[in-house]
Structure 1
Amino acid sequence: MAIPAAFDGLTSHADTLFWVQSSEDGDQLVRWTASDGVSFAAPRGFAVGNDTHAYGGGSAAVSADGVWGISAQDGRIHQLTPGKATPLTEASSNRFGDLVVAGRTILALSEDTDGDSLVGVDAATGHVRRLRQSSGFLASPQPGHGNLAWLSWDLDQMPWDSTQLWAAPYDDHAGLLGVPVLVAGGISESVTEPQWGPDGHLYFMSDRTGWLNLYKWDGERIDAVAPTAADCAAAPWELGYRSYTFLDDGALAIRVRRDLQDHLVLIDAGGRSQTFDLPYTAIKPYLCSLNNAVAMIAATPTTSPSVVLVDRDGSHSVVAGQEPPTNEHSQPQRLSVDGIDFLLHPPSDADGTWTAPVIVRAHPGPTDEISLRRDAQTDFFTRHGFAIADVDYRGSTGHGRDFRRSLYGRWGSYDVADCAAVAQYLIARGVTSPAEVFICGSSAGGYTALRAAGRGPFRGAAARSPIIDPRTWEASVPRFQRAHASALAEGSIAVSSADIECPVLLVHGLHDPITPAQDTLGLAADLEARGADHELLILDTSSHTLAAPDLTAKVLDAELAFFRRLLDQSASAKRA
């Protein structure tokens, strides 16, 4: 199965775009100009990346003085040219991320076993100066107009639940930070994505109304920029997200999520908003501007993510990746049952009214969301005659603060009930039959799938890198995610072989650092002792996502064979 190139970390400087391009050759920093097209911004083979706060982000920064990136191999910050990568920082156990340039200083987040620090790295000497330290978490250093803004949150919180936004005078030449002021945030407010605007105001996302909306602070008061009953930012699993950007003429562009779809909205200098009519339905949270146009990474229901430029008049062009379709293609249906939204992807050969085996898919996270875009793994199953139902169960993002937090203390209950409701709905509509409906999930979604194997209308369940025991997972997850695991684990119970009532497929990487493979092996042993129908695939890898092409191919083949075996058994039983 061919895996298309992936794009992340989009940013711009002057007339040049930069992004991290992932493919079978690794994560490469590339650049694009209208005159020269796409080229490497670092030596070929130099992979950029970091695992700060477990999931990384903000691995490159650009200014008029140069390009800097974090080596995925040794974690050091390097100055980069297409032909050379020069180490700037010394080898250290500290993990860098969230890079941004302030004059001749590279600002960064530095994480170690004692907590987080905001640091300034001299771009000439590599000297590291600590600006701020916390035993909790720090993120998003943003210099501007003689000030520095940043985010903080406590060890027992997640950044989509409770954060604080700070600002202080900052002298980048002397490396001195003044007395900070608390701008926004608190125990019941999540603040994300601060940026200094060209007007000198500090902009940020906040869910103070229940929706993640854009606000600005002028040094004294906070005003809403474009209030709307929709989420305008994603849950900050990674560093460096930017869901809005400033244009040269005083307007700004913002990503808004409604009805399982991302929209690009322009807000002009007078506060008037305009939603662009674009074919793109999924936009990654990496917006930037280029010559008064918006640059974004976006996808359609039938094409993978591409780097796209959108002009003020709504015209658009693809810089890298696939062109959008020029005619109508079959698209997934956007459906809802009992207030739960889901996408139904039909088999690729479906025409008119159709029936097919259905795989109900629980996304990972569980604080995540489904995307209305082409997905290679969805394509794999729809080509083989299956339909896919992607469920935004309770606890998903994109539906407001209350919905996002509703799974705390109810994990393994609400999510399972929502996936079961989708399955029952599709059976009742005649789309599928009880003998042909399955559930699958990865990581937290794997926990949902296995808990659903003990209730609901599922013929079988497949779980990749699943969480088996929420309490064991809470003790093993990285520092960043521990509060999330604790909130979810409260009231949740471990998957027990005695509760599993349908055949299951268990897939796990033996050296998975996020969810312990030993729990999966233990569950498989218990199922074996009971004589329960199960299959086990253990892969010799430390990957949690199993996203490498060779691993993905093995997992998909195992899942397809598992589902087909159960379909054959059901067909044989019906004939008997």
Structure 2
Amino acid sequence: MTHQSRPTPCGAWRSPLDAATVAAHDGRVDHLGSVGEELWWTAARPEEGGRRALMRLRGDGGPAEVALPAPWDARNRLMEYGGTPWAGAPRSAGGPLIVFTHCGDQRLYLLEPDAPDAAPRPLTPVSDPGAGLRFADPVVRPGRGEVWCVLEEFTGPAPTDLRRVLVAVPLSGAAAEDRAALHELTDDTHRFLTGPRPSPDGRLLAWIAWDHPRMPWDGTELKVARLDDDGTTGPPVTVAGGPEESIAQVEWGARGELLFSSDRTGWWNLYRAVLADGGGAGPPTPGPAEALRPAAEEFADALWKIGARWFAPMADGLVAVVHGRGDKRLGLLDPDRGVLTDAAGPWTEWAPALAVQGSRVTGIAASPVRGYELVQLDTATGHSRVVAARHRDAVPPAYLPTPLLRTFTGPDGREVHAHIYPPASPDHRPAGDELPPYVVWAHGGPTGRASMVLDLEIAYFTSRGIGVADVNYGGSTGYGRAYRDRLRGSWGRVDVEDCATVAAALAAEGTADPGRLAIRGGSAGGWTAAASLADPDRTAGVYACGAIRYPVLDPVGWAEGGTHDFESRYLDSLIGPFDEAQYRERSPLHHAERVTAPFLLLQGTDDAVCPPVQSERFLAALAGSAVPHRYLSFPGEEHGFRRAETIVRAVEAELALYRETFGIVADRSDTLETETR
């Protein structure tokens, strides 16, 4: 018998994909690396309080193992978004040596997983919030008995009272009780820096640094210093970079050359430079930088988390690269010939996490129908296979949307890129000539990017008859620096206009119901959603409602110490140097009276990036308003939701908002009533 769909009002379709399933699959594998023949990584555990488990895959072909049981949480809060939380080194006997950061106390720990007593041992001291210590992007150096990493040290009560340096931590545990046992490899001349990259011969040290008010995608500097035998670093020299050139990653090649990504041409491309170490006395001398494959595509992305790895040198001189225009694919670059060969397979998006073992390259990859999984390419044979975290269909594929890559024309004829996810279900179809409602998603960042990969939260809505348009508005990465710079001085305008462009175009072409359009976003996307509702002139009243998650709402508050250090000067580029009148004019908080559409506001109580006080002030500004709205706060949640119970409640509340606003008659057993104030 042929299965036939039946006409059903859009938004009321029954779906086997419930909110609990969405929550169970929330959070991808991350922080992949190799330790000898083993692979290690972190995996999200929403059902275990949102912790990240440290995972291990031995080289014997056995199944993946959880190396750290609950409540251990392999995560850190360096620059609040965190950086690489672990590193390891193989040993000839006794199994690998692993160092990791635990989110609960931000300390570094030593783990010997094959030892009789495998309990983690602390390497760094306990610290209090007034003088907190955080560590990230470690490099284990067993020959020196140390682990080198970034240290972030708070020196006062304000979120900007801190310093960052590269530091050597004794593996003996001598610093577990004594801060003085931490050996600083650099001074704190620069506000921000990435983890250390020692050269293969141990004579040079490379890292990336930058300062306020620049963000790392605006301008950074590649530093190299000579290393003495006792671990002392000489005066660093700047090899590349500057105020208008972003260096996103640096590594050492197989022949001791320096490899780095730079956007000096307007695109993050790969370069190499040969350095002399100064004759063992003076500073290293850099040679000219050579472009390995000039192209109008990106070989890097925005450096939000310290330790991201878009390329990885191989022993045979090839370089594994994650590259593309928009979405990223895996390729092998011959740096001498400039030849780039892409890996075969169904994966269309590769994360910035590559591990090299001989002729094998392992990465984290996904596609519109496959969630992120660990995929290994054998460069000798060209064969790729899944080695861990294998995708399993949470629901039959027929309930998943088939996304469309679209480019729309925005104001002044500018291009606007978006991924369109139409409603999909084998059981239902729109009734009569009904057009489906659509929700415009604005990604966070705002210097970020939405990838066209399987997202069960999107499928939760599309399988119920509600379409999603995921917009890479002007300012997004993946399309070159000119596209990225569109947002400079124009945040709250370009992003709002581009999202409204996509929504209006979908309505005009007959894809979406013009009376049932919504906008949603989190973090910077929450700003765009709120600004869209508070700016009916710019959006032409296109949205019937909005869902706002842990948003930026008050740039004045941000500029006056209301956020963390990393983004405390971000608005200098997004809006302009601080001018209270200009910041208030751009602020959704100070235009709350212009909001007329219903909205849902979701906020974590422990959010240090977008503190709950902004949401509370926004609600206070709406006191007495007749606009239907609902506020849900989640104790213990930080910036972005990690706990299963939070994700379930947030997704169900968002669906309830759309169903009530759009007048959808549905079985309400799986939704929450939208309250009004």
TM over 0.5: yes
Q: Specify the alignment match of 1:61 in structure 2.
A: 87
2: CA distance, partners of 1:73 / 1:547: 15
1:120 maps onto 2:168 in alignment: yes
Task: Tell me which of the two structures has the higher relative contact order, counting C-alpha pairs closer than 8 angstroms and 6 or more residues apart.
Answer: 2
SS at structure 2 position matched to 1:373: coil
1:564 maps onto 2:659 in alignment: yes
In the TM superposition, what whole-angstrom CA distance separates every residue of 1:291-328 from its partner, at most 9, and x where no partner exists?
31110011111121111101224321112223499999
Q: Specify the alignment match of 1:437 in structure 2.
A: 517
Please tell me whether the aligned partners of residues 327 and 478 of structure 2 are also in contact (alpha carbons under 8 angstroms): no
2: CA distance, partners of 1:44 / 1:539: 22
Please tell me whether the aligned partners of residues 527 and 534 of structure 1 are also in contact (alpha carbons under 8 angstroms): no
Stretches of structure 2 that go unaligned for 5 or more consecutive residues are: 1-19, 92-96, 155-161, 176-180, 276-286, 410-414, 577-581, 667-677
Please tell me whether the aligned partners of residues 21 and 28 of structure 1 are also in contact (alpha carbons under 8 angstroms): yes
Displacement of 1:140? 2.6
Structure with the larger strand share: 1
2: CA distance, partners of 1:130 / 1:75: 18
SS at structure 2 position matched to 1:560: helix
SS at structure 2 position matched to 1:96: strand
Which of the residues 473, 477, 481 maps onto 2:567?
481
Task: Give RMSD over aligned pairs.
Answer: 2.3
Which of the residues 95, 115, 130 maps onto 2:184?
130
1:310 maps onto 2:377 in alignment: yes
Which of the residues 273, 290, 300 maps onto 1:217?
273
1:523 maps onto 2:618 in alignment: yes
Please tell me whether the aligned partners of residues 372 and 391 of structure 2 are also in contact (alpha carbons under 8 angstroms): no
Q: 1:91 to 1:538 in 2, by over 3 A?
A: closer
Q: Specify the alignment match of 1:337 in structure 2.
A: 408
Q: Specify the alignment match of 2:150 in structure 1.
A: 109
Aligned length: 569
In the TM superposition, what whole-angstrom CA distance separates every residue of 1:275-304 from its partner, at most 9, and x where no partner exists?
223211121101121231110011111121
Displacement of 1:538? 2.8
Q: Specify the alignment match of 1:468 in structure 2.
A: 553
The runs of 4+ residues in structure 1 deviating greater than 6 Å are 324-329, 350-354
**2:55 partner amino acid:** V
SS at structure 1 position matched to 2:447: coil
Q: Specify the alignment match of 1:266 in structure 2.
A: 332
1: CA distance, partners of 2:361 / 2:218: 29
Which range moved further: 502-511 or 184-193? Answer: 502-511
SS at structure 1 position matched to 2:662: helix
Q: How does 1:105-504 map to 2 (within 5 A)?
A: 105-113=146-154, 114-124=162-172, 125-126=174-175, 127-134=181-188, 136-144=191-199, 145=201, 146-171=203-228, 173-219=229-275, 220-258=287-325, 260-268=326-334, 270-271=336-337, 272-312=339-379, 313-323=381-391, 331-338=402-409, 339-349=415-425, 355-453=435-533, 454-455=535-536, 456=539, 457-474=542-559, 475-490=561-576, 491-492=582-583, 493-495=586-588, 496-504=591-599
1:17 maps onto 2:39 in alignment: yes
SS at structure 1 position matched to 2:328: strand
Q: 1:47 to 1:390 in 2, by over 3 A?
A: same
SS at structure 1 position matched to 2:622: helix
Displacement of 1:270? 4.0
Please tell me whether the aligned partners of residues 136 and 195 of structure 2 are also in contact (alpha carbons under 8 angstroms): no
SS at structure 1 position matched to 2:167: strand
Q: 1:41 to 1:534 in 2, by over 3 A?
A: closer
Displacement of 1:249? 2.4
**1:536 partner amino acid:** Y
2: CA distance, partners of 1:352 / 1:322: 31
**1:38 partner amino acid:** A
**2:545 partner amino acid:** G
Which range moved further: 203-212 or 449-458? Answer: 449-458
- Identity percentage of aligned residues: 32
**1:253 partner amino acid:** A
Q: Specify the alignment match of 1:574 in structure 2.
A: none
Displacement of 1:123? 2.1
1: CA distance, partners of 2:389 / 2:293: 31
Which range moved further: 50-59 or 467-476? Answer: 467-476
1: CA distance, partners of 2:73 / 2:532: 40
1: CA distance, partners of 2:456 / 2:558: 29
Displacement of 1:355? 3.7
SS at structure 1 position matched to 2:298: coil
SS at structure 1 position matched to 2:663: helix
SS at structure 2 position matched to 1:177: coil
Stretches of structure 1 that go unaligned for 5 or more consecutive residues are: 572-576
Q: 1:267 to 1:336 in 2, by over 3 A?
A: same
Please tell me whether the aligned partners of residues 361 and 388 of structure 1 are also in contact (alpha carbons under 8 angstroms): yes
Displacement of 1:405? 2.4
Displacement of 1:269? 5.6
Please tell me whether the aligned partners of residues 244 and 288 of structure 1 are also in contact (alpha carbons under 8 angstroms): no
Q: 1:504 to 1:327 in 2, by over 3 A?
A: closer
TM-score w.r.t. length of structure 2: 0.80
Q: 1:459 to 1:67 in 2, by over 3 A?
A: same
2: CA distance, partners of 1:513 / 1:96: 18
**1:21 partner amino acid:** A
Please tell me whether the aligned partners of residues 6 and 305 of structure 1 are also in contact (alpha carbons under 8 angstroms): yes
SS at structure 2 position matched to 1:134: coil
In the TM superposition, what whole-angstrom CA distance separates every residue of 1:180-203 from its partner, at most 9, and x where no partner exists?
221001111111211111110011
**1:183 partner amino acid:** V
1:46 maps onto 2:132 in alignment: no
Displacement of 1:376? 2.1
Q: How does 1:63-78 map to 2 (within 5 A)?
A: 63-65=89-91, 66-78=97-109
1:98 maps onto 2:137 in alignment: yes
Q: 1:531 to 1:61 in 2, by over 3 A?
A: same
2: CA distance, partners of 1:150 / 1:212: 17
